[in-house]
Amino acid sequence: MRLSRYFLPVLKETPSEAQIVSHRYMLRAGMIKQASAGIYSWLPLGFKVLKNIENIVHEEQIRAGHIPMLMPTLQSADLWRESGRYDDYGAEMLRMKDRHDRDMLYGPTNEELITDIFRSHVGSYKDLPLTLYHVQWKFRDEIRPRFGVMRGREFYMKDGYNFDLTKEDALHAYNRHLVSYLRTYERMGLQAIPMRADGGPIGGDYTHEFLVLAETGESEVFYDSEITDLKFGDRAIDYDSHAECQAVLEEFTSRYARTDETHDEEIFAKVPEARRRQARGIEVGQIFYFGTKYSEPMGATVQDAEGNKVPVHMGSHGIGVSRLLGAIIEASHDDKGIIWPEGVTPFHCGIVNLKSGDAEADAACEALYASITALGLEPLYDDTNERAGGKFATMDLIGLPWRITVGPRGLKNGVVELTSRRTGESEELPPEEAVARIAAIYNKVLPGA
Amino acid sequence: MRLSRYFLPVLKETPSEAQIVSHRYMLRAGMIKQASAGIYSWLPLGFKVLKNIENIVHEEQIRAGHIPMLMPTLQSADLWRESGRYDDYGAEMLRMKDRHDRDMLYGPTNEELITDIFRSHVGSYKDLPLTLYHVQWKFRDEIRPRFGVMRGREFYMKDGYNFDLTKEDALHAYNRHLVSYLRTYERMGLQAIPMRADGGPIGGDYTHEFLVLAETGESEVFYDSEITDLKFGDRAIDYDSHAECQAVLEEFTSRYARTDETHDEEIFAKVPEARRRQARGIEVGQIFYFGTKYSEPMGATVQDAEGNKVPVHMGSHGIGVSRLLGAIIEASHDDKGIIWPEGVTPFHCGIVNLKSGDAEADAACEALYASITALGLEPLYDDTNERAGGKFATMDLIGLPWRITVGPRGLKNGVVELTSRRTGESEELPPEEAVARIAAIYNKVLPGA
User: B268, B220 in Cβ contact below 8 A?
Assistant: no
Whether residue B70 and residue A47 make contact (CB cut-off 8 A), yes or no, is yes
pLDDT in tens, A372-398: 999 999 999 999 999 999 999 999 999
Alpha helices by DSSP H, listed for B144-264, are 167-187, 242-253
- Report, as an integer, the average pLDDT of A158-164: 98
Coil/strand/helix, residue A424: coil
Q: B91 CB near a chain A CB, below 8 Å? A: yes
Q: B39 CB near a chain A CB, below 8 Å? A: yes
pLDDT in tens, A189-239: 999 999 998 766 555 569 999 999 998 898 999 999 999 999 999 999 999
Q: Which residues of B touch A106 (CB under 8 A)?
A: 74
| Whole-angstrom distance, CA of residue B120 vs CA of residue B124 | 12
Q: Return the ∠ at Cα A347 (arms to A345 and A353), rounded to 5°.
A: 135
Q: Return the ∠ at Cα B269 (arms to B263 and B272), rounded to 5°.
A: 125
Give the best residue of B98, B142, B159, B378 to mutate against chain A (max A CB count within 10 A). B98
Q: A139 CB near a chain B CB, below 8 Å? A: yes
| Whole-angstrom distance, CA of residue B315 vs CA of residue B163 | 7
Q: Is B426 exposed, middle or buried (0-12, 13-18, 19+ CB in 10 A)?
A: exposed
Coil/strand/helix, residue A389: helix
Of the candidates A41, A263, A438, A148, the one whose C-alpha atom is nearest the C-alpha of residue B112 is: A41
User: A136, A156 in Cβ contact below 8 A?
Assistant: yes
Please give the C-alpha separations between residue A329 and each of A49, A180, B303, B435, in angstroms, as whole numbers: 11, 22, 35, 46
Give the best residue of A49, A55, A78, A96 to mutate against chain B (max B CB count within 10 A). A96
Q: Specify the pLDDT at position A13.
A: 87
Of the candidates B142, B48, B12, the one whose C-alpha atom is nearest the C-alpha of residue B380 is: B48
Of the candidates A296, A276, A176, the one whose C-alpha atom is nearest the C-alpha of residue A226 is: A276
Q: Specify the pLDDT at position A401.
A: 98
Q: Specify the pLDDT at position B59.
A: 98
User: A161, A314 in Cβ contact below 8 A?
Assistant: yes
Q: Residue B138, CB half-sphere, CA atoms under 13 Å: how many?
A: 25
Q: Specify the pLDDT at position A204.
A: 54
Interface of A with B in 308-337 (CB under 8 A): none
> What chain A residue is nearest to B40 in terms of C-alpha separation?
A72
Q: Specify the pLDDT at position A449.
A: 59
B119 sits in which H/E element = helix B111-121
- Report, as an integer, the average pLDDT of B331-344: 97
User: A281, A211 in Cβ contact below 8 A?
Assistant: yes
Q: A412 vs chain B: nearest CA distance in angstroms?
A: 32
Please give the C-alpha separations between residue B244 and each of B173, B178, B249, B313, in angstroms, as whole numbers: 12, 12, 9, 21
| Whole-angstrom distance, CA of residue B284 vs CA of residue B261 | 16
Name the least confident of A88-92, B50-54, B285-289, B438-442: A88-92
Q: What is the CA radius of gyration of chain B?
A: 24
pLDDT bucket at A447, cuts 50 / 70 / 90 = confident
CA B195 from chain center: how many Å? 17
pLDDT in tens, A275-307: 999 999 999 999 999 999 889 999 999 999 999
User: A398, A388 in Cβ contact below 8 A?
Assistant: no
pLDDT in tens, A393-414: 999 999 999 999 999 999 999 9
User: A409, A416 in Cβ contact below 8 A?
Assistant: no
Please give the C-alpha separations between residue A84 and each of A79, A163, B232, B448, in angstroms, as whole numbers: 9, 20, 55, 60
Q: Backbone dihedral region of B36: left (phi > 0), alpha (psi from -120 to 50 degrees) or beta?
A: beta
Q: Which residues of B touch A300 (CB under 8 A)?
A: none
Q: Specify the pLDDT at position B201.
A: 58
Please give the C-alpha separations between residue A338 and each of A15, B163, B434, in angstroms, as whole numbers: 16, 30, 50
Average pLDDT over chain B reads 95
User: A244, A178 in Cβ contact below 8 A?
Assistant: no
Q: Specify the pLDDT at position B216.
A: 87
User: A298, A85 in Cβ contact below 8 A?
Assistant: no
Concatenated DSSP letters for A122-160?
--BGGG-SEEEEEEEEEE---SS-BTGGGB-SEEEEEEE
User: What is the identity of the amino acid at A392?
Assistant: F
- Report, as an integer, the average pLDDT of B195-215: 81
User: A165, A300 in Cβ contact below 8 A?
Assistant: no
Q: Looking at the predicted structure, is the pLDDT value of residue A362 above 80?
A: yes
Q: Which residues of A touch B130 (CB under 8 A)?
A: 7
Write down the ipTM of this complex: 0.96
Q: Specify the pLDDT at position B204.
A: 54
A322 sits in which H/E element = helix A321-331
Measured between CB atoms, which of A71, A78, A139 is closest to B74? A139
pLDDT bucket at B203, cuts 50 / 70 / 90 = low
Of the candidates B323, B284, B340, the one whose C-alpha atom is nearest the C-alpha of residue B20 is: B323
Coil/strand/helix, residue A383: coil
CA A282 from chain center: how many Å? 12
Measured between CB atoms, which of B70, B104, B141 is closest to A99? B141
End-to-end CA separation in angstroms for chain A: 25
Q: Specify the pLDDT at position B13.
A: 87
Domains in chain A with CATH codes: 3-338 (3.30.930.10), 349-441 (3.40.50.800)
Q: Which residues of B touch A99 (CB under 8 A)?
A: 91-92, 141, 143
Q: B76 CB near a chain A CB, below 8 Å? A: yes
Count how many pairs of residues, chain A against chain B, have C-beta atoms within 8 Å. Answer: 145
Please give the C-alpha separations between residue B282 and each of A344, B209, B239, B252, in angstroms, as whole numbers: 39, 10, 27, 18
For residue A158, the tally of other CB atoms under 10 A from its CB is 25
- Report, as an integer, the average pLDDT of B381-391: 96
Q: Specify the pLDDT at position B205.
A: 62
User: B180, B61 in Cβ contact below 8 A?
Assistant: yes
B323 sits in which H/E element = helix B321-331
Q: Return the ∠ at Cα B181 (arms to B177 and B186), rounded to 5°.
A: 155
Q: Specify the pLDDT at position A88.
A: 87
Q: Looking at the predicted structure, is the pLDDT value of residue B316 above 80?
A: yes
Q: Which residues of B touch A137 (CB under 8 A)?
A: 72-73, 137
| Whole-angstrom distance, CA of residue B260 vs CA of residue B275 | 18
Q: Which residues of B touch A75 (CB under 8 A)?
A: 35-36, 39
- Report, as an integer, the average pLDDT of A59-86: 96
pLDDT bucket at B88, cuts 50 / 70 / 90 = confident
Q: Looking at the predicted structure, is the pLDDT value of residue B388 above 70?
A: yes
> What chain B residue is nearest to A152 in terms of C-alpha separation?
B72
B370 sits in which H/E element = helix B359-374
pLDDT higher for B414 or B89? B414
User: B113, B79 in Cβ contact below 8 A?
Assistant: yes
Q: B437 vs chain A: nearest CA distance in angstroms?
A: 27
Whether residue B41 and residue A132 make contact (CB cut-off 8 A), yes or no, is no
User: B398, B337 in Cβ contact below 8 A?
Assistant: yes
